[in-house]
A and B are shown apart, each in its own frame.
Chain A
Amino acid sequence: MKFFLFHLMPYADLDLSAPDKYNSSWVTLPNSYYDPKKGHLLYNRYLDELELGDELGFDGVCVNEHHANAYGMMPQPGVLAGALARRTKNVKIALLGRALPLVNNPITIAEEFAILDNITGGRFIAGFVRGIGAEYFSWNANPAFSHERFMEAHDLIIQAWTRTGPFAFEGKHFNFDYVNLWPRPYQDPHPPIWIPSQGSTETIEWASHPDRRYTYLQTFSPLSALQKYMKQYKDSAESYGWEAGPANLGWATPIYVGETDEIAYREAKPHIENFYQKFLKMPLEMLLPPGYLSLKSMQGVMAAKQQVAVGARDIDAVMASGMFLCGSPKTIRDQLKRHQQEIGFGQVLSMLQFGTLPADLTRKNIELYAREVIAPLRAEEQAARAAAE
């Protein structure tokens, strides 16, 4: 298993009555709730936390993109990745990811990623997403064109990275007479590509295609969904005639390690509940604007009247479904091992700060996780490999 330290950089100082008052922490939550002096401290604290991940031997650190919200303060994640590129020395930097359909010129993303890949000497991992539904309100991007713009922007970026310029790109949404990327990416042919998703058959079939073999990441989902979609990826790869391994499959989930199960539970409870109940709060119309899902998927969602809107999720519920791992180092080690053996993912994107989790508990969580979870699991894997040889 590879261990990544994943951060959302939430506005942890949020007045927690605000999401209820505005029925959302996104789009319509007034930015008067954001205090730049507190923001200054938070950005620097969060960057310190990711840099600590480098010192403690994580395999990588992750940033991502969300707009106009208190849930994650990285609307321009390249800025944060740029800061990390110089201050970290060993970790991979995964930008998971840029929301391709939102931009009118995807070459900006090809450029940004190529620069990061050059500065880090190839420590960069590129993530492509469609953004969540709320983003389509904030950026006035048409969700009904989300899928086709994603595909076309992706093709343009890959060509910009791999074809000798200048060349012309003739698409429906994007047209350029002179694509000629300076700088070209450091890694050959281009940085690894990871695709975070909440689970979609179309995305899995696309990502697992032999032309791509992109690493698929299941984010913030119950274990049952993780199991289902990881299997779907492996089956899809098999039907294409190749075998997907652990490196192709990742799981992003919040984790809290305490000295004991009881301490972990007590310390994490208010903060994980704030994460799921306050920071993720938004109405269904904002989460799933028309076109964000295919018509068939949307009809399925509405017919099943699934609980898609994130409502009252307490710590017991999210621990029971596997949307939060919480406990002593041994508990977490056992859970990760068991899930890994059953499900077969190889990339663990551990979100060790969530919601309002303060600096001292976050640091303790990162240190305990590195020392008591990652190190022993790595030692075990190494021993098993040695024994096998």
Chain B
Amino acid sequence: MTLLPDWLTHNNDCRELEAMLRNRSPESLETMAARSRAMTLRRFGRTMPLYAPLYLSNYCSSGCAYCGFASDRTTPRRKLSEEEIRREIAAMKQLGIQDILLLTGERTATVGFEYLQRAVEIAAESMQRVTVEAFPMSVEEYRELAMGGCTGITIYQETYDPLQYEALHRWGPKKDYLYRLETPERALEGGIKTVGLGVLFGLSDPVTDALMLYRHARHLEKTYWRGGISVSFPRLRPQTGGYEPTYPVDDHLLARIILAFRIAMPDVELVLSTREKPSFRDGMAGLAITRMSIASRTTVGGYREGESPEEGQFEISDSRTAEEFCQALRNRRIEPVFKNWEPAYNGPSGEIPGCS
């Protein structure tokens, strides 16, 4: 049985958040939406920074019961060569994308740290901002990624419930709950500027998971005062392997969770991907969300080839083109922003010349 740290289980400053999550009345949702909208507008204005994911590889050593890329799936495995990465990035740049999220599965002999590090360097040659969603790494590895131009990582705990976590992660390095939990700390320690947290809603009790996610974010904010925190709200989608969510989260509850996070964390970046359908994405864009993905492909590569016949990690619900999505944002008086970073700010955070 995993012994959870106190900061994850004993923290009373989330009583207001819990009250917002447990109240399910439609009136309270409207009230929260109005408050969240005003807070978002005041702090973040009427702009929406955009990014797009690039799946570098679907090799994986873990056995997550809910994932289309788990190592027991029959999905054909491949990884992009350096040349293919360059071509994919060129195709993404044609769509206007300047902010890229590089993804892999859990570390394998075929796709390990050196491969990822090289991909970051290649991406940083032409993209304005490079972030990574891959496997947990050591402090030293994160420092090297930051040196190569990686400014942020995303690492979801998936569920904070240790029993569900144990059951769902059937084998592989991801079975180690605490090592994964401490990954954002190692990344910030290594000089990565921003860590993205999240749970995969549908795997466990959503309110408990949301509260623990909040405690995790607050713990990081207090411990690593230079660290940027973002929170994502992925919800389980139909995947290869046919896993059915044990705790389905409907639109109303997901919206409530997102709004509650905005109210509880007024300055934190909240992210929504193309897992969600257009109406939900467009609606939440004006209310709480401050960073979104566009024109996503969840197959390895996929930008250059257009629609790929392969099966991706999960099904995309918002398949609008970059231009269609930007127009939808503009119709809601939100400006899509492709470049919201400057490579002059790359490099490990907190390194002051003469002190490092």
Physical interaction between A and B: no
